[in-house]
């Protein structure tokens, strides 16, 4: 099979010199649009959008957020170290007490979190309270389902 060779033709580039207004042809002069001078608009002629732009904007109302007094870590599907880090962050920010809450299958993760926190990271940690319970979840099909809950409250012992 014969190979086809591609050849490129070089285009000649013409250098155009900038034309001065005196040398411009009548066709090019017709293409140029005259510049319109804008007159200041009076408020009565302004569209509603323009009027809205000119009005001074009111500062958005700031909703005072109450500081979070509860130090609660909700256990879910993430790795255990994420929850351990969350508890350490609470203790490093000056909190003396942290509550770890879990439901259902996440209860074992909550226990792992507390044990890892207590044995490896915060040596002077005391378990203050453990509460267990059951929540009734109403299903769409009409039945109810019981889900176990666990809350573990730990405190950092004061250094002497």
Percentage of the chain beyond pLDDT 90 is: 47
Q: How confident is the model at residue 81, as a pLDDT?
A: 96
- Within-domain flag for 79: yes
- Within-domain flag for 76: yes
Question: Is 80 exceeded by the pLDDT of residue 55?
Answer: no
Give the model's confidence band at 53: pLDDT under 50 very low, under 70 low, under 90 confident, else very high.
Answer: low
- Within-domain flag for 112: yes
Helix 80-92 with 107-116: angle, nearest 10 deg: 50
- Within-domain flag for 82: yes
Q: How many domains does the chain have?
A: 1
Give the model's confidence band at 70: pLDDT under 50 very low, under 70 low, under 90 confident, else very high.
Answer: confident
In tens, the pLDDT along 77-126 reads 999 999 999 999 999 999 999 999 999 999 999 999 999 999 999 889 99
- Within-domain flag for 19: no
Question: Domain containing 120 — which CATH number?
Answer: 3.30.110.20
Question: Is 80 exceeded by the pLDDT of residue 12?
Answer: no
- Within-domain flag for 145: yes
pTM of the model: 0.55
Q: How confident is the model at residue 121, as a pLDDT?
A: 92
- Within-domain flag for 60: no
The residues, any chain, with a CB within 8 Å of residue 100's CB and separated by 6 or more, are 72, 73, 75, 83, 87, 110, 113, 114, 151, 152, 153, 154
Structural domain including 90 reads 72-156
Q: How confident is the model at residue 141, as a pLDDT?
A: 87
If you average pLDDT over every residue of the chain, what do you get? 77
């Amino acid at each position: 099979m014969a190979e086809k060779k591609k050849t490129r033709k070089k285009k000649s580039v013409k250098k155009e010199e900038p034309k001065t207004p005196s040398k411009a042809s009548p066709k090019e002069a017709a293409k140029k649009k005259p510049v319109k001078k804008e007159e200041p608009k009076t408020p009565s002629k302004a569209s509603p959008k323009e009027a809205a732009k000119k009005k001074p904007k009111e500062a958005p109302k700031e909703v005072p957020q109450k500081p979070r007094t509860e130090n609660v870590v909700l256990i879910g599907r993430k790795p255990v170290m994420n929850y351990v880090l969350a508890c350490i962050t609470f203790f490093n920010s000056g909190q003396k007490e942290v509550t770890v809450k879990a439901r259902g299958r996440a209860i074992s993760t909550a226990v792992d979190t507390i044990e890892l926190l207590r044995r490896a990271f915060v040596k002077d940690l005391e378990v203050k309270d453990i509460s267990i319970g059951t929540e009734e979840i109403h299903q769409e099909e009409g039945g109810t389902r019981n889900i176990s809950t666990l809350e573990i409250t730990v405190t950092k012992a004061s250094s002497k």
